[in-house]
Amino acid sequence: MELALSYVDQILIFAIFAVSLNLLLGYTGQISVAHAAFGAIGGYSIGYLLLNNHVPVLAGLGVAIVAAGLVGVIVGIPALRLSAEWLILLSLAAQTIIIALVSTSSAFGGTYGLQNIVGLSVFGHSLTNPSDRLPLFLVCFLIVYAICWRMGESPYGRVLRGIREDERACRSLGKNVFAYKLMVFGVTAAMAGVAGALLAIDSSLAAPALFGFDQSTTIIAMVILGGMGSLPGSVIGAALLVLLGPFFERVLNINGDVTFLWRLIAYGLVLVLVMLLRPQGLLPDPGAPLRWLRGRRARAGGGSAEPVLADTALPSATAAAAAAPAALPALERNGGDIVLEVSDLSKHFGGIIAADGLAFALRRGEIAALVGPNGAGKTTVFNLLTGAIRFDSGSVVLHGHEIGGMTPNQVARRGMVRSFQDVRIFPFMSALENVMLAFQEQPGEHLASLFGRPGVTAKVEREVRERAVEWLRFVGMDALAAMPAGALGFGQQKLVALARVLATEADVLLLDEPASGIDQQWVDVMLGLIDRVRAAGRTVCIVEHNLHVVERLADHIYFMELGRITARGSFDELTAMPNLAKAYFGTA
């Protein structure tokens, strides 16, 4: 009985490791191979304090959590700013170094580690036998699981999945991606610290071998086997791999040192085979990217995307018009006062001049268009305005405040949001979630209110859902709200992306080729929508090649060549200029 319970204890410990890593790996898409090393921080912290300072177990656990979380943040700060492979590299380095440090330090017992961590008790309840430890472990597991579930399956988790799918798009919607990643990295490292501390208590030992690279890999194998993005899956994965040890020993009669080798070979096989045969794991997360690997896209959509768009998806003009007033909060039209003023904006990439003394203004309730030949720097202007690229000199004033030097998410929160030429939709999230992610100031996106004010969070979440549906209705996509956005046709994706931009409630919208690459019928829908956005008093700037679009929408046109604005005026004025008419507009 005690033996069976000792396995249960082990399963609970590794379930904590696996569930927390899943939040990082499965939800947020950040690959860390240092999870066991963060466990080591926890295990060694509590072991040292218990042996040398005889602190209460729970106090030691608290220190273990804080220490592991802090180390996690320190490791994460440099790596998380960069693309995923840096995190792999730095976490690999952290794993190596942390274990190297503890195994060479005499205070931590060198390669033998801290031994004889025994005679422990919590509130007078001894922790000597597996059955004694079970309640403590179970409580820790439940708390960690609950926190992970709350963080993952909530508006917070929606942002995390957005980060997994497209960091840049996430940032463009006003989310501070770096802060989210760092928070998750720190929290999951702290949870690994809990698991490490429990592992030290369970083994009466904190030794390098308990927390080595092999252990990190084992935890990854548990997450992969159970299914990335599925918390119950991680618990099952942990249970299966923990029970593999007794399976080898008792059923296959493989004993001694060899057991350990066979177990690791089995873990390795799990990783390779799951990737080759069932990348989504045992319990796939319904929205996880890996689920879509095996040609399931069409099936999951309930049919091919194309026929849907023609009939049901096209909004009839009247329906959309009826929806518009409700959906678009009427901004007051102030006779076209200046909302965004750009002056003397310049940017050089080495010898290439991307922007050279640009000056223009966007007025409320007007649509401006940037036109010009390929390579003129039109999209670069959007990148400069939104802070995706820092400009060399000049100023960008939004609502009377200089926004130069701000990050894309800060600019978005100030009320200027862009769309992307290549849409950058979150393909494995539903159309509805795509739009819901765009709302600003959701209490559920902050841990304090997510945990502290669950009632408010739930209420706002319902409102966000309703309003997101309204936006989808506005663009005529409400019938497809539940579809994974990646399964939609390109024109539909553009509409969802428009709804996403509108839902940020930014009043300056920078739309990068909103009507390119889609069928004519969709172009008309799109133009009608943008027209109504203008009518509601928002300010729009488009980059567009399609002159039909420009003619129909733009109040004011800026003609760009080689990073400079060389002509400006209304459509008629520009087409009247002989040099432009010939070179660009065609002599029609």
Report how far residue 512's alpha carbon sits from residue 543's, in angstroms, rounded to the nearest whole number. 5
With 0-12 CB in 10 A as exposed, 13-18 as middle and 19+ as buried, what is 5? middle
With 0-12 CB in 10 A as exposed, 13-18 as middle and 19+ as buried, what is 448? exposed
Q: Which of 262, 331, 566, 569 binds other proteins (CB under 8 A)?
A: 262
Reported in sequence order, the residue ranges of 447-525 that DSSP labels E, i.e. its strands, are 508-512
Interface map 65-84 toward other proteins (x if CB under 8 A): ------------xxx-xxxx
Query: Dihedral sign, CA of 501, 506, 510, 515?
Result: positive
Write out the binding residues for other proteins, residues 289-328 only, by CB under 8 A. 289-290, 292-294
The pair of structure tokens assigned to 289 is 């990217």
CB of 2 to other proteins, least distance (A): 30
Contacts of 25 (CB under 8 A, 6+ apart): 31, 32, 220, 223, 228
Stretch that binds other proteins, among 91-99, 154-162, 183-191, 495-503 (CB under 8 A): 91-99
- Beta carbons of 181 and 30 less than 8 angstroms apart: yes
What DSSP state is assigned to residue 176? -
Q: Which of 251, 253, 257, 448 binds other proteins (CB under 8 A)?
A: 257
Length of the chain equals 588
CB of 357 to other proteins, least distance (A): 24
CB of 237 to other proteins, least distance (A): 13
Nearest to 51 by CA among 113, 9, 111, 122: 113
Report how far residue 541's alpha carbon sits from residue 555's, in angstroms, rounded to the nearest whole number. 10
Nearest to 186 by CA among 47, 32, 82, 13: 32
Q: What is the CA radius of gyration of the chain?
A: 28
The reply on whether position 268 binds other proteins by CB under 8 A is: yes
Q: Which of 154, 172, 188, 217 binds other proteins (CB under 8 A)?
A: 217
Half-sphere exposure of residue 179: CA atoms within 13 angstroms, side-chain side: 13
Stretch that binds other proteins, among 270-278, 310-318, 367-375, 471-479 (CB under 8 A): 270-278
539-543 and 508-512 beta bridge pairing:
parallel
Residue closer to other proteins by CB (options 62, 287) is 287
Residue type, 394: G
Residue closer to other proteins by CB (options 62, 237) is 237
Q: Which of 147, 184, 219, 270 binds other proteins (CB under 8 A)?
A: 270
CB of 262 to other proteins, least distance (A): 8
The reply on whether position 209 binds other proteins by CB under 8 A is: no
CB of 27 to other proteins, least distance (A): 13
Distance in Å from the first CA to the final CA of the chain: 89
Report how far residue 456's alpha carbon sits from residue 447's, in angstroms, rounded to the nearest whole number. 13
CB of 265 to other proteins, least distance (A): 5
Q: Which of 11, 12, 13, 33 binds other proteins (CB under 8 A)?
A: 33
Write out the binding residues for other proteins, residues 485-524 only, by CB under 8 A. 486, 490, 493, 517
The reply on whether position 252 binds other proteins by CB under 8 A is: no
The pair of structure tokens assigned to 303 is 């049919």
What DSSP state is assigned to residue 353? E
The reply on whether position 122 binds other proteins by CB under 8 A is: no
Residue closer to other proteins by CB (options 79, 200) is 79
The reply on whether position 210 binds other proteins by CB under 8 A is: no
Interface map 137-166 toward other proteins (x if CB under 8 A): ----------------------------x-
Q: How many CB atoms lie within 10 A of CB 43?
A: 33
CB of 537 to other proteins, least distance (A): 32
Which residues bind to other proteins, rule: CB under 8 A? 29, 31, 33, 77-79, 81-86, 88-90, 92-94, 96-97, 100-101, 104, 165, 213-214, 217, 220-221, 224, 257-258, 261-262, 264-265, 267-276, 279, 289-290, 292-294, 422-423, 425, 427-428, 486, 490, 493, 517
